[in-house]
Amino acid sequence: MGNLKHILDAFFKGIARSRVSLVGAIITTAVFPFLLGLVVIDSLWHLDNPYLGAVIYMILGPAFMAGLFMVFVGLFFLKGKEEVRIFTLDYLKEHFTDETRFARVRKLIFLGIFLTGANLFIFSLLGYSGYHYLESNAFCGKFCHTVMEPEYTAYQNSPHSRVNCVECHIGSGATWFVKSKVSGARQLFAVALDTHPRPIETPVHGLRPARETCEECHQPEKFHGEKLIVNDKFLPDDKNTHVQTVMLMKIGSAGNLAEKAHGIHWHVAPENTITYQSDEKRLTIPVVTLTRADGSKTVFRSGDSQDTAPLETREMDCIDCHNRPTHIYRSPEAALDERLLSGKIPRELPFIKEQALVAITASYGSHEEAESAIAAQLTRWYKAQYSELVASKPILLQMAIRGTQEAYRQNVWPSMNIGWNTYINHIGHGENFDIGCFRCHDDMHESEDGQTISGDCMTCHVILAENEENPEVLRKLRGE
Ligand code: HEC
Ligand code: HEC
Ligand code: HEC
Ligand code: HEC
Ligand code: HEC
C-alpha cells in the first residue's frame, strides 16, 4: 500500500514538474468522461450514427491518446536535468550501487510499466473499435452525407445491400486497408474543402482487382448452363399493359474439372487473359488482346483504333461487365416499372406509366423542387382527365404520387449532378447496342486472320419472348 502511494506521489510530482505532462494530463482528464460515456452508449445501444462514431474515434479517441502520450513523454524526458540522466549507464550504475537510492529507480520502472500497460490497453481498445468503425457502412455511406448518399441509396436497393462496402472496396488484408485509408484521408479533405467532383467519377481507377473481392463469395467456375431471365415492363397506354421479355442467358462457366470454360463466364476462366486498351471512361475499346493458356495471342482491332487519344491498358475482370453490381441506378422506365410491378404505383390508374415518365424526366434543381412539381403535375393532369376516378378513389393518385417521387428521389441527385443515366451499366448493351458487351462484341473488332468478336444475337442469349403480354413460353413453363 505504502509503495503505491509513493508511486502515485512520484507520478503527480513528475507531472507537476513538466509542463508537457501537465497539458497532457489536463487533456486526458477533460476528455475521459466524455469518451467513456460515448463508448458505453455506443456499445450498449449500437447506435448506427456516423457522427457519434466520428466524434469518438476521430476526435476524442486520438485526443485522449495524445494526452496520455504527452504525460508519458513529459514524465520521462522533459523534467529537470537530473532525471534525464536516468537513461545513461553511469546514472544507473551509480544508483544501483547506492542502496539508499535504489528504491527510487524501482519506483520509476514500476511507473513506466504501469503506464505502458495502461496505454497499450487503451490504445488497443480504441484501435479495435476504431478499426471497426472505419470499416462500417455508417462511416463509408453516411459520414460524408451528401457525397455518398447516392451510392448508399442505390446500394440499399440492390442484391448486395447486406454486403458491407469494405468487402468490395477494400477486401481482406492489411495492405488494402492502409491503401484505402490513405486515399480515404485525401477524400476526407476533398469533402471538407468541397473540392470533390460532382458526380463522383467512375470507373474507380484504384479499385482492387475484382477477382480478389467478388471471388471471396462467388465462384464462376461453379456456374453452369443457362439462366432464365424475365424482365417485367409496362407500356405507356391507358391500361399500363404489363409485358414481359423472356430470355435464356448463356451464363456458362469459367471452367471446372468436368467442363471446359464456355459461355459468358468464359472471359474470367483462369486460362483466358483478355486485356484491352480504352479511353479513361472505358467506353471506347479499340484494341482487345486475347491470350490463351498456351501463350498464343489474338489481337482484335476496330476501325477507330487510330483516332482515340490517350489509351489505358487493363485486364478484363468481373467489373468490366458487372460495373454496377450494387450501385444500380435505374433508367426512368425501369424505376417506374419496378414500382408498378410491386404495386407501389397502382396499375389501375390509367396512363400512369406515361404521365409519371413525363413528370420524372423533366429537369429539377433539387429533390424538394422535384417532389412538389411531380405532385402538382400529376394532380393537375388526373383532375382534368379522370376527375371522377380521382374523386371516388383518391388513394390511387396519392399512392401514384408517392411512388413516382420515390422513383425520382432514389435515382437522381441534382446536388451531385447525378441525372438519369449518369452512371452507365455495362451488363447488357443498351437499346442502341453501343455500350456494355457491344464495346467489343460489335462484329467490327477484327483479328489479322479475319476473325471478329461476335455480335450475333445468339452468342449470349436466346430471346424467348420480347415485350409480350402473358408470353406463351412462361405459360408453358407454369404448365398452364
Ligand atoms: C458488391 C460490391 C460493392 C459494394 C458492397 C459496394 N460497392 Fe461501391 N462500387 C462497386 C463497384 C463495382 C463500383 C464501380 C466500379 C467502376 O465502375 O469502376 C463502385 C463504385 C463506387 C463509388 C464511385 C461512384 C460510382 O457510383 O461509380 C462510390 C462512391 C462507392 N462505390 C461507394 C460505396 C459505398 C459508400 C458502399 C457501402 C454503402 C459501397 N460502395 C458498397 C462495388 C461495391
Ligand atoms: C460478401 C459476399 C459478396 C461479395 C464480396 C460479392 N457478392 Fe455478389 N452476391 C452476394 C450474395 C449473397 C448475392 C445474392 C443476393 C440475393 O440474391 O439476394 C449476390 C448476388 C450477385 C449477383 C446476382 C444479382 C442478381 O441480380 O441476381 C451478381 C451478378 C453478383 N453478386 C456479382 C458480384 C460482383 C461483380 C462482386 C464484386 C464486385 C460481388 N458480387 C461481390 C454476395 C457477395
Ligand atoms: C463478359 C461479361 C462478364 C464477366 C467478365 C463476368 N460476368 Fe458475371 N454475369 C454476366 C452476365 C451477362 C450475367 C447474367 C445477367 C444477369 O444475371 O443479369 C452474369 C451473371 C452473374 C452472376 C449471377 C449468376 C446466377 O446464376 O444468377 C454472378 C454471381 C456473377 N455473374 C458473378 C461474376 C463474377 C464474380 C465475375 C468475375 C470473376 C463475373 N461474374 C464476370 C457477365 C459477366
Ligand atoms: C473487352 C472486350 C469484351 C467485352 C466488354 C465483352 N467481351 Fe465477350 N468476348 C470477348 C472476346 C475477345 C471473346 C472471344 C472471341 C473469339 O475468340 O472469337 C469473347 C467471347 C464471348 C463469348 C463466347 C465464349 C465462348 O464460349 O467461346 C460470349 C458468350 C461472350 N463473349 C459474352 C459477352 C457478354 C454477355 C458480354 C457483356 C456482358 C461480353 N461478352 C463483353 C471480349 C469481350
Ligand atoms: C455479347 C453478348 C450479347 C449479344 C451479342 C447480344 N446481346 Fe442482347 N443482351 C445481352 C445481355 C447481357 C443482356 C442483359 C440481360 C439482363 O437484362 O440482365 C441483353 C438483353 C437483351 C434484350 C432485353 C432487353 C430488355 O430490356 O429487356 C434484348 C431484347 C436483346 N438483348 C436483344 C439482342 C439482339 C436483337 C441482339 C443481336 C443484334 C443481341 N441482343 C445481341 C447480351 C448480348
Could you give the number of structural domains in the chain?
4
Q: Which of 106-110, 323-327, 465-469 has the lowest mean pLDDT?
A: 106-110
Residue 130 lies in a domain: yes
Dist CA 339 CA 332 (whole Å): 11
Q: What is the pLDDT of residue 313?
A: 93
Cell 420480347 sits on residue? 466
Q: What is the pLDDT of residue 47?
A: 62
Q: What is the pLDDT of residue 79?
A: 58
Judge if 71 and 97 occupy the same domain: yes
Question: Average pLDDT of 174-184?
Answer: 75
pLDDT classification of 297: cutoffs 50, 70, 90: very high
Judge if 313 and 437 occupy the same domain: yes
The residue nearest atom 3 of ligand 1, judged by CA position, is 168
Can you tell me which atom of ligand 3 is nearest the CA of 211? 38
The answer to whether the CB of 352 is under 6 A from ligand 1 is: no
Dist CA 232 CA 353 (whole Å): 13
Judge if 321 and 442 occupy the same domain: yes
pLDDT above 70 (res 26) = yes
Judge if 315 and 410 occupy the same domain: no
Judge if 45 and 172 occupy the same domain: no
Question: Average pLDDT of 144-152?
Answer: 83
pLDDT above 60 (res 308) = no
Burial class for 195, CB neighbours closer than 10 Å (0-12, 13-18, 19+): exposed
87 grid coordinates: 537513461
CB of 78 closer than 8 Å to CB of 18: yes
Q: Which of 38-42, 61-65, 156-160 has the lowest mean pLDDT?
A: 38-42
Judge if 252 and 168 occupy the same domain: no
Q: How far is CA 348 from the centre of its chain?
A: 38
Pocket test residue of 264, 290, 324, 437 for ligand 3, highest count of atoms within 8 A of CB: 264
pLDDT above 50 (res 85) = no
Judge if 25 and 130 occupy the same domain: yes
pLDDT above 50 (res 216) = yes
Judge if 108 and 156 occupy the same domain: no
- Decide which of 379, 398, 416 is a domain's last residue: 416
∠ Cα 194 199 204 (to 5°): 105
Closest by Cα among 315, 131, 139, 287 to 212: 315
Go through 275-284 and write b for each residue having 16 or more CB atoms within 10 A of its CB, e for each that does not. Answer: ebbbeeebeb
Dist CA 136 CA 134 (whole Å): 6
Residue 84 lies in a domain: yes
Residue 270 lies in a domain: yes
Mean pLDDT of the residues in the chain = 86
Pocket test residue of 299, 440, 442 for ligand 4, highest count of atoms within 8 A of CB: 440
Q: How many angstroms does the Cα of residue 274 sit away from the middle of ligand 4?
A: 9
Dist CA 210 CA 310 (whole Å): 24
The residue nearest atom 27 of ligand 3, judged by CA position, is 227
Judge if 45 and 97 occupy the same domain: yes
pLDDT above 80 (res 477) = yes
SS3 state at 115: helix
The answer to whether the CB of 436 is under 6 A from ligand 3 is: no
Q: How many angstroms does the Cα of residue 286 sit away from the middle of ligand 3?
A: 23
Q: What is the pLDDT of residue 304?
A: 65
Pocket test residue of 324, 461, 467, 468 for ligand 5, highest count of atoms within 8 A of CB: 461
Long-range CB contacts for residues 268-273, cutoff 8 Å, separation at least 24:
268/211, 268/220, 268/316, 268/317, 268/318, 269/220, 269/221, 273/315
- Decide which of 185, 201, 217 is a domain's last residue: 201
**Residue 189 domain boundaries:** 139-201
Judge if 65 and 163 occupy the same domain: no
Pocket test residue of 458, 460, 467, 468 for ligand 5, highest count of atoms within 8 A of CB: 460
The answer to whether the CB of 264 is under 6 A from ligand 3 is: yes
Residue 218 lies in a domain: no
Q: What is the pLDDT of residue 326?
A: 95
CB of 411 closer than 8 Å to CB of 356: no
Judge if 21 and 111 occupy the same domain: yes
- Decide which of 100, 115, 134 is a domain's last residue: 134
Residue 213 lies in a domain: no
Q: Which of 6-10, 269-273, 363-367 has the lowest mean pLDDT?
A: 6-10
Dist CA 106 CA 119 (whole Å): 20
Dist CA 403 CA 401 (whole Å): 6
Judge if 32 and 120 occupy the same domain: yes
Closest by Cα among 51, 415, 427 to 200: 415
Residue 98 lies in a domain: yes
Question: Average pLDDT of 362-374?
Answer: 97
CA dihedral 338, 340, 345, 348 (to 10 degrees): 180
The answer to whether the CB of 439 is under 6 A from ligand 3 is: no
What residues does ligand 2 touch, defined as CB less than 6 Å away?
Answer: 159-160, 163, 167-168, 210, 213-214, 216-218, 318, 322, 325
SS3 state at 458: coil
Residue 207 lies in a domain: no
pLDDT above 90 (res 439) = yes
Q: What is the pLDDT of residue 88?
A: 58
Q: What is the pLDDT of residue 248?
A: 97
Question: Average pLDDT of 115-140?
Answer: 76
pLDDT over 90 percentage in the chain: 53
Residue 210 lies in a domain: no
pLDDT above 50 (res 350) = yes
